[in-house]
Amino acid sequence: MTFDEIIANRRSIRKFKKDPIKEEQIEAILDAGNKAPSAKNLQHWRFHVYQGEAKNNLLKFILKEFDKIAEPGVSKYARYSFQIMDEAPVAILVFSAQVMDHPARPDIQSVSAAILNMLLKAQELGIGSLWICDVLYIDEVIMKHVGAEMPLLAAISLGHPNESPESRTRLTVDDVTTWFE
């Protein structure tokens, strides 16, 4: 698969098969994340990887806690994200180990770069992925539950895809670019 094909073919996957992912594939995905650029090379990303019973228990907890705060309207979509996480064999919680005191939060940008590397590596390996920020509805509750004293920024679900979604619409490069000469 060429680099262009990896970028062009990556999709957010929301239906996963139950089959586990090989350990070495998860490690390769983490390694790709760990090779991302980061502000001041601080490598802010930290990963908690959940599989098997640990993943099932985490999602049981998240769904229970989310249902306590769920409001009509917004939250049914968030619950859907958690159901997807429950279905996927691997859930990764992604944290920032060092909050940087600037409004543009370079640590978040660095962690985002790592997440994208991971999604692209997963695509290369034929593994489906979903970047999930709905965990932020209950981030503090999750952090306390897993004993993390650093901010939770996102979750990633990984698994063998059980769907082949069409590409989502995109603005054109012209729409999003201003050129100066």
Cβ proximity to ligand FMN: between 53 and 176 the closer is: 176
**Closest CB 18 distance from ligand FMN, rounded Å:** 19
* Position among 43, 81, 110, 123 found at the interface with ligand FMN (CB under 6 A): 81
Contact 114, 33 (CB under 8 A): yes
Contact 16, 157 (CB under 8 A): yes
CA proximity to 89, closest of 144, 40, 17, 41: 17
Only one of the segments 7-15, 17-25, 46-54, 99-107 lies at the binding site for ligand FMN (rule: CB under 6 A); that segment is: 7-15
Per-residue interface string for the shown chain with ligand FMN, residues 108-137, x marking contact by CB under 6 A = ----------------------xxxxx---
Q: Which of residues 153-172 bind ligand FMN (CB under 6 A)?
A: 168
Contact 97, 41 (CB under 8 A): no
Distances (CA, A) of 158 to 46, 152, 177: 17, 18, 32
Query: Exposed/middle/buried for 118, CB within 10 Å: 0-12, 13-18, 19+?
Result: buried
Contact 39, 106 (CB under 8 A): yes
Residue 44 is classified by DSSP as -
Residue 45 is classified by DSSP as E
**Closest CB 8 distance from ligand FMN, rounded Å:** 10
Only one of the segments 8-16, 24-32, 41-49, 142-150 lies at the binding site for ligand FMN (rule: CB under 6 A); that segment is: 8-16
Residue 93 engages ligand FMN in binding (rule: CB under 6 A):
no
Per-residue interface string for the shown chain with ligand FMN, residues 19-58, x marking contact by CB under 6 A = ----------------------------------------
**Closest CB 54 distance from ligand FMN, rounded Å:** 21
Residues of this chain that interact with ligand FMN (CB under 6 A) are 11-12, 14, 81, 130-134, 168
